[in-house]
Chain A
């Protein structure tokens, strides 16, 4: 099912939650709504579900206007952040619920419901838990039950609100992969909300990055990571060093470091911030170019395949963080307190935003 969201706005009292959202979700796509808390991503999901109503704007499912349709009529699956399993029912009854409450005409037979529930139980690998109550299950198991319950009604759209937010890191990673595989198998249009950029980058076909009720950027994980549309996106999608300075005729000057930015050549005397990712920094023991930043090694985190090095710039005492491969770190033999030269390989600059 294709979803179209057009000029959608929503406010609670005086506080505006969503400003003029436009979004097109293709059939079978897996979309992540990514943003910090309060960015409006959950409100947008709930509006798609019909749990909340927009003030302005339209929602279309397969080009048909669904804005005024009740949640019940939208034929969606919705997975809640805290599972929202029916506590007074067994796992079996939870999964069967959506089929059992159908009007008699469209309700499957008892045997059909039973088969469906057992198929889903084996899909989520909880066959032996059919007669347990939700309170007897772990967080990851409950989340799988919530998913099975929403899939039982064979929805055409699956909406997930921070589906892995309340789980520990290991279970989260497992379920994430499981969701990706499930999506590949059943090709259901899916939208999930997350504040975890790693999760969005790993799972989604496309990412919608939201901030303060606005869409900052929409794109594939690679697009948004490589070509962030704003400083916010750049910052939100991973660690980044910021270097504040002045832009004059296409040159950003921060401390002793200068970088040419041809697209700003017509501008004078502007405040600008250059951003560089930790893995886009080269570290050398000798000054190889005029334009490198003399720094002192402050701290080293040698755990993992990349080594994180914290440095203090000699020119303006600001901290920068660099990441280099472990074997390079070992061959260079970098010591704490040592003087090194840092050279950015690529710098992005934005005028509008400071971190």
Chain B
């Protein structure tokens, strides 16, 4: 009698082991096929199209003053808006996860607005606020401050569109971690800043990094909102996506894809950096353990 259940169990596990490889291979095959069709193929196409007319055209396209200016502007916008949104995101996630207050759910909903609203509308909002006939238009014109059709407008639109990424990544993480470690740190005599630096930040660093990477990808790639506020001034307010669109509309396909290949490279590099950091930290913690 004692041996019976054991035999049953082994039979079951044999059946289970016979079945699983097929399921495994099918799932892997479907995933790989899908990725190849929808991600790898377009990526290869971009680079093929970019080099279609040879290295000379490629280099000329990406070193053209307008292209260089677009690349610089895009990077500048990302460098300004990503750290700001990382900061805002940490603040928002901290407020929501560590404190109890009224209207918390409304705040969470507000954070999601940029996801729900079309980027074009986001851009229009800034035109309505800061444009020449907008709410603050007269005041801005009188004091000589340019927001719309200039760098500040592009940064504002990018900030708006990329706001939720870091906050959305951190809120569930910080809610799951709770406040006990921070409380322990405070009771042990550490101040607020030391507690944040030594306890909170190390605990959220992966979520934060992931949020920053998503935020950066969107900041570099944002088209709609930026298109509305930028004014498409070549060499001045054109970001990379806008520059690509202009080139494409002017039938300069190779040039358009050459700039697109630079954007793709930035994206690939971000992913590599993310994996590098993850791999390095993973290596460290297994070594410690």
Contacts and interface: CB of A to CB of B under 8 A. Distances in A.
B202 interface: yes
Contacts of A102: 189
Contacts of B202: 88
B203 interface: yes
A88 B203 contact: yes
Nearest to B188: A98
B180 A80 contact: yes
Given A82-B180, A86-B181, A87-B181, A72 B187 contact: yes
A350 interface: no
A101 B198 contact: yes
B105 to A, nearest CB: 15
Contact of B190 (A51, A75, A84, A101): A101
B199 interface: yes
Interface in B192-212: 194, 198-199, 202-203
B191 interface: yes
18 contacts: A49-B187, A70-B186, A71-B186, A72-B189, A72-B191, A75-B189, A80-B184, A84-B180, A84-B181, A85-B184, A86-B198, A86-B199, A87-B203, A98-B189, A101-B194, A133-B285, A136-B289, A149-B184
Nearest to A93: B198
Q: Is the interface of A mostly helix, strand, loop or mixed?
A: loop
Nearest to A106: B189
A90 B191 CA distance: 21
Q: Is the interface of B mostly helix, strand, loop or mixed?
A: helix
Given A84-B181, A88-B203, A72 B186 contact: yes
B284 to A, nearest CB: 11
Give the contact-size bracket for chain B: 10 to 19
B185 interface: yes
A97 interface: yes
B188 A97 contact: yes
Nearest to B181: A84
A133 B288 contact: yes
A133 B289 contact: yes
B97 to A, nearest CB: 16
A76 B187 contact: yes
A74 B288 CA distance: 35
B189 A84 contact: no
A125 interface: no
B183 interface: yes
Given A84-B181, A101-B198, A78 B203 contact: no
B175 to A, nearest CB: 15
A131 interface: yes
Interface of B: 180-181, 183-191, 194, 198-199, 202-203, 285, 288-289
Contact of B184 (A74, A78, A90, A132): A78
Contacts of B189: 72, 75, 98, 101-102, 153
A88 to B, nearest CB: 4
Nearest to B190: A101
Contacts of B188: 97-98, 101, 149-150, 153
Contact of B183 (A51, A85, A98, A101): A51
Nearest to B195: A101
B187 A71 contact: yes
Contact of B187 (A51, A85, A90, A132): A51
B187 A78 contact: yes
A87 B177 CA distance: 10
Contacts of B183: 51, 71, 78, 80, 84
Given A49-B187, A88-B202, 9 more contacts: A74-B187, A76-B187, A78-B184, A86-B184, A88-B203, A90-B288, A101-B185, A102-B189, A149-B188
Contacts of B181: 84-87
A101 B197 CA distance: 11
A84 B177 CA distance: 10
Contacts of B184: 78, 80, 84-86, 149
B42 to A, nearest CB: 39
Nearest to A88: B202
A302 to B, nearest CB: 27
Most chain A Cβ neighbours within 10 Å, of B184, B188, B198, B289: B188
Contacts of A76: 187
Contacts of A149: 184, 188
Interface string A296-308: 0000000000000
Most chain A Cβ neighbours within 10 Å, of B181, B185, B186, B189: B189
A82 B177 CA distance: 12
Nearest to B102: A13
